[in-house]
Structures are given as structure tokens and as C-alpha cells.
Homo-oligomer: A and B are copies of this chain.
């Protein structure tokens, strides 16, 4: 039997969910159906915290009550084919779903590197599936030596969280000379490394994995320099690739990277088919090159663009490009980054000026619980447009980075930032005299021979 809906969304993660909610707001008369392939999905960013911070993994279950309250239908199933000519989707159990508008939000899959022994038991890529993750948490709790391969955000957060178990040895393994190098310049990467080491995480940089050791189950890792470590559990955190299989089978094509080609309104080459989130192609805000950045925040932004544009285009509501905006924490150290780093900006050929500042996040600094904050801002040299920022410090950095994100999105100039009228308060921020964002903008002033 054929089912008919107005808006069909394949994928129930953050992008599918937000697209459904947005579409309901802009087109309240339309029927919306989400097909998702996992009964119990999770909050993706919360996965590292299922080990210790949350008292049980179920606390990270994705709450779909907003969808149910909005009258959005959901079903668990696996889409196996998109028939774009007849505007229908066929599921593995033979269901046929007719649509007016289709949204592909199939997400991404963890990269499994081609390493000898990678298929042994005890090796865990991160799948966004509650039941899988529950058993992963149980396995890790039983392990003595846990190795995490990949020193990006996921790896750093797993290492921080698993190091809270005092009976385990935790290794964090990275091929490059530093952790977090995609998002931070060296002086910030070092802070994360030092903090993890102080929590007894063994940080192994410049280490290429050549073999997973053990018989049927992992018992160690061998590196390209010949050294070995013991490991009874290995977590893979080396990135993800867009899940584009269904789209490609339906005749849609990819952009310059690995994601489905979309225009500024998130439409594929088929004007009735949209793609959003990790599976969709992205362009970086400044370089205009393909961006491999996958973040739930970008996915939901794309979902809001698509949801509004499904039946009629809203010109303001267009995708201006990806601003990689990350925040993370290692114990009580918050690290956050937005836009381009100094290293990436220079490699891409941008002529830039840099401003740095430090301030204590309360004033006077003698107030209890004050933390130092370090800020680095990157501006285009001639136009003075804000291009990126990095911060490290206490909890105030959580939303401080989003001031920088808003500045980048609004194409703020250095000169404008210097005279902004930020709210300040003794218990809440640095003083208006020492406010870090302003002083970093001021210190980037090129006339003074900084560059």
C-alpha cells in the first residue's frame, strides 16, 4: 500500500528533526513524515558524556516530544530507494512513501581506517545508536587499557571523560604533531595536551597506527615507529564521511567534496529534493572551498534554511557558508574556536593581522573563582573583516565564542569591534577596561607594527 505525505524527511538526527519543526512553522498545513533507521537515537554531541558524567547512557536519549507535539509523524525504517521521477521513497520492508518535497538527512558514517587487524573484537567506531552505545559503555567499563585513535574533538572528549575512571590507562593517539590542529593554532593545542596529561592521559602524537594486535580480540596497537602499547579496547575517532549512498543511487551527484551537491537554499539538482546536515556538501564561509566540517550546529542551521525554503524561497534564508564553530572542555578548561585559524588563513593565502589579549573573567580579579581567559582574533589585513577567533579559559568561554561567531557572520570590522558596548559585571565578565575581545581587536591594529 502506498503512503502519501507532503514533506518526507529521511533521517531523524538533529537536521531531520529541526527541518521538520521549521517546516511545520513555515507551512503549518503540510503533513510531515520522518523515516529514521534507528529506534532510539541519541544526542550526538552528548555521546562522550555517556561514560561517566551522565549516571546512565539512557540519559543521552534523543527526546522527540517536540516532534510529537507538533504533529510530525515518525516511523522506524530503512529507505532503500528514492524514485525521483515518481516522487516516492521505498523502504527495505516494501513500504512506498509518496512525497511532494523530499529532504535527505542521512548523516554520516564513521571512517574505518584500512589498518591490519581493524576488524578484531574490541574496536569501536562511534555509531549514533543508543543500544550500540550502551554496550560500548559497558565494554569500556570492563577494560584496563583504552586507546583512542584520533586527536580531534571526539578523541579529546572521550579521553577526558574516560580518564575519570581511575582504574584505567587511557591513550590518545594522533598522527599529527598536535591535538585539535584542525581548529586551533599551536598555543591552544598545547593547553589541551597539558591538561589531558595532568589527568594521566597518555598523549601519543606523531604516531601512525600500522596494526591492531591480538588474536580475535584486540590486545595492543603497533605504530609505524615500531613501538607498541597494550590495549583491550580501541575507540575510533578519526572522522566521518557523508552517507550519500541513497542520493547517489537516485541519480543525484556530489559537489566538489564528499557531500551531496546543494545550492544556497539547500536544494539538490532536483528542485523537490533537499539535502541537509552531514550528508550535504558544504562550502567554507571565507575560502569558498568544500568544507569537510560536520557539526550538529551547522546541520541544524541548514535544516532551518531548508525547512523555510521547501515550497517558496526566502532570499534572506540562504546558506552563506560554513563557519566552523567549536567548543569543548577538558575538565575545567574550555577551548573554543570559530572561523579560520591563523595557520589555515595563511595557508589559504589570506593576508591577515592577529590580535591577542588576556583577561580575568571577573573584576576585580580577586573575586572568588575568577579564571584567566586567553583570546586570539584574526582579521583580514586590508579590509579588517573578522575572520576567526580562538579562546581558552573558564566557563565564560561557552558563549564568548558565539559573540565571535556572530561577528564573523555579520562581517564585523576590527575597528567596529574596538568600540562595541559590551555588558560587563564584576561577577560575570572582565572589566570594561580589560575586556578581552575589545583589547584583542585593539592589539591587532596594524599601524603599530604588530605585522
A interface residues, Cβ below 8 angstroms from B: 14, 17-18, 22, 25-26, 28, 43, 45-46, 48-49, 53-55, 59-61, 66, 295-301, 304-305, 314, 316-317, 319, 322-323, 325-329, 334, 336, 338, 361, 363-364, 366-368, 395-403, 405-407, 409-410, 412-413, 415-416, 418-429, 431-433, 435, 438, 442, 445, 447-448
Q: Please determine whether A421 and B298 come into contact, CB atoms closer than 8 angstroms.
A: yes
Min CB–CB distance A45 → chain B (angstroms): 5
With A433-B300, A442-B25 as known contacts, state yes or no: A45 contacts B413, CB within 8 Å. Answer: no
The interface residues of chain B lying within 8 Å CB-to-CB of A26 are 447
Min CB–CB distance A321 → chain B (angstroms): 9
Bound-state CA distance A193–B154 (Å) is 43
Bound-state CA distance A397–B403 (Å) is 12
Min CB–CB distance A15 → chain B (angstroms): 9
Bound-state CA distance A333–B412 (Å) is 31
Q: Please determine whether B49 and A427 come into contact, CB atoms closer than 8 angstroms.
A: yes
Q: Please determine whether B297 and A421 come into contact, CB atoms closer than 8 angstroms.
A: yes
Min CB–CB distance A154 → chain B (angstroms): 12
Closest A-B pairs by Cβ, 5 of them: A398-B428, A325-B423, A59-B366, A410-B410, A399-B399
Q: Please determine whether A364 and B301 come into contact, CB atoms closer than 8 angstroms.
A: no
The interface residues of chain B lying within 8 Å CB-to-CB of A25 are 442, 445, 448
Bound-state CA distance A441–B437 (Å) is 25
Bound-state CA distance A48–B426 (Å) is 9
Question: Which one of A314, A412, A413, A425 has the highest number of Cβ atoms from chain B below 10 Å of its Cβ?
Answer: A425
Q: Please determine whether B301 and A419 come into contact, CB atoms closer than 8 angstroms.
A: yes
Determine which of B28, B299, B418 lies in contact with A432 in the assembled complex, contact meaning CB atoms within 8 Å.
B299
Copies in the complex: 2
Interface residues of chain A: helix, strand, loop or mixed (majority): mixed
Min CB–CB distance A407 → chain B (angstroms): 6
Bound-state CA distance A328–B428 (Å) is 8
Min CB–CB distance A406 → chain B (angstroms): 5
List 7 A-B residue pairs with CB atoms under 8 Å apart, sorted by A's residue number: A26-B447, A54-B366, A305-B419, A314-B415, A328-B425, A398-B428, A402-B403
Bound-state CA distance A66–B442 (Å) is 15
The interface residues of chain B lying within 8 Å CB-to-CB of A22 are 442
The interface residues of chain B lying within 8 Å CB-to-CB of A304 are 418-419, 438, 442
The interface residues of chain B lying within 8 Å CB-to-CB of A296 are 424, 431-433
With A43-B363, A366-B54 as known contacts, state yes or no: A297 contacts B416, CB within 8 Å. Answer: no
Question: Which one of A17, A298, A399, A442 has the highest number of Cβ atoms from chain B below 10 Å of its Cβ?
Answer: A399
The interface residues of chain B lying within 8 Å CB-to-CB of A298 are 421
Q: Please determine whether B415 and A329 come into contact, CB atoms closer than 8 angstroms.
A: no
Least CB separation from A423: chain B residue = B325
With A301-B420, A304-B419 as known contacts, state yes or no: A395 contacts B428, CB within 8 Å. Answer: yes
Bound-state CA distance A300–B295 (Å) is 37
Determine which of B297, B314, B323, B406 lies in contact with A412 in the assembled complex, contact meaning CB atoms within 8 Å.
B406
Min CB–CB distance A398 → chain B (angstroms): 4
Q: Please determine whether B409 and A421 come into contact, CB atoms closer than 8 angstroms.
A: yes
Question: Which one of A66, A295, A328, A398 has the highest number of Cβ atoms from chain B below 10 Å of its Cβ?
Answer: A398
Determine which of B55, B66, B423 lies in contact with A327 in the assembled complex, contact meaning CB atoms within 8 Å.
B423
The interface residues of chain B lying within 8 Å CB-to-CB of A429 are 327, 398-399, 402
Min CB–CB distance A91 → chain B (angstroms): 25
The interface residues of chain B lying within 8 Å CB-to-CB of A43 are 363-364, 426, 431
Bound-state CA distance A412–B295 (Å) is 23
Bound-state CA distance A429–B395 (Å) is 10
Question: Which one of A298, A329, A338, A364 has the highest number of Cβ atoms from chain B below 10 Å of its Cβ?
Answer: A364
